Chain A
Amino acid sequence: MSIDHSLFPETMPSNPERATLEGKNKFMGLWFFLGGETVLFACLFGIYIALKNSTAGGPSSTDLFGLELVFFMTVLLLSSSLTSVYAMYHMRNNDFKKMMLWLGITGLLGIGFLACEIYEFAHYIIDYDFTFRSSAFGSAFYALVGFHGGHVIFGISWLIVLMIRNARRGLNLYNAPKFNTFSLYWHFIDVVWVFVFTVVYLMGMVS
């Protein structure tokens, strides 16, 4: 099937995101990328775990972290993962408007998450004077959590570009793989966040 094949009910393939060669390649390419990302984040987590007690007399994880904000951020990101599932559900049912609506909600939840993270970093820097240069713990913390936040920024920018570019195009086999690729990436951001809140925040609070 060619990529400019429109999605009409009588010809709708069951998986529009993988019906074309380009779609298959995008799908496989993104999973390959996610395998690489796993290793990248493993390095950052390993560094964080190794350096988290090297506070150089500065604030430690138990002094800094608060559970309420982290819980709120977790709920925001987990919900945005579900809303992007909704968007892909509407894509498979060939409902372009509802797909765009749910992608929009996903983006807003992502922006909410990012706002909380910026507030959190500002709070640490202003109230605790805890920066990237404070200690090895500071460097490792901002590198790991900041890298995750950077992925969120990239994801939101990607989503905005995708939505604007395809706003008047409708759903077809050319852009269905693009939306699906974004959605997989967005789920992966939530996967990384599950380990961030577990390893950094929760494990930082118990020890």
Chain B
Amino acid sequence: MVNQANTEEKVNAYEQERNKEEMKKQVISFALMIVLTLISFGLVASGHLESIFAIPILLMMAIIQVGFQFYYFMHLKDKGHGMPATLIYGGVWAALLTLAGLGVISWW
């Protein structure tokens, strides 16, 4: 099972070009994620907003940022990711039910 693959050689030019294209998108999503983080922290640091407005905005920022993480960094947008998406959205659905249940017993 242990083999010394010759890693000095490179994959073909087409693949490399495609991977480069992908990488560019990922760097752009990283920049956007940093911007979203800065906006969130800036919003809280400035201290001007009422919490009733600030909390939905902060949650929105978090959800958008997580979207970038899932779709670009974790390749959920790529081909052959139907099942992983189903599993994650299943998890998110169960998570929402859990949060709703805990919300009901805490505040109802």
Contact = CB atoms under 8 A, between A and B. Distances in A.
Contacts, number: 174
B11 A9 contact: yes
Interface in B17-32: 19, 22-23, 26-27, 30
Nearest to A31: B84
Interface string B87-98: 110111011101
Interface in B56-108: 58-59, 61-62, 65-66, 69-70, 73-74, 80, 83-84, 87-88, 90-92, 94-96, 98-99, 101-103, 105-106
Contacts of A67: 41, 44-45
Given A39-B94, A205-B44, A81 B5 contact: no
Contacts of A18: 80
A37 B94 CA distance: 11
Nearest to B22: A89
Nearest to A35: B91
Interface of A: 3-4, 6-9, 12, 14, 18, 27-28, 31-32, 34-39, 41-43, 45-47, 49-50, 67, 71, 74-75, 78, 81-82, 85-86, 89, 92-97, 169-172, 174, 184, 187-188, 190-191, 194-195, 197-199, 202-203, 205-207
Contact of A47 (B43, B49, B102): B102
Given A38-B91, A38-B94, A194-B69, A93 B4 contact: no
A143 B3 CA distance: 44
A134 B12 CA distance: 60
Given A41-B95, A82-B26, A198-B58, A9 B9 contact: yes
B69 A190 contact: yes
B64 to A, nearest CB: 10
Contact of B7 (A7, A31, A85, A190): A7
Nearest to B41: A71
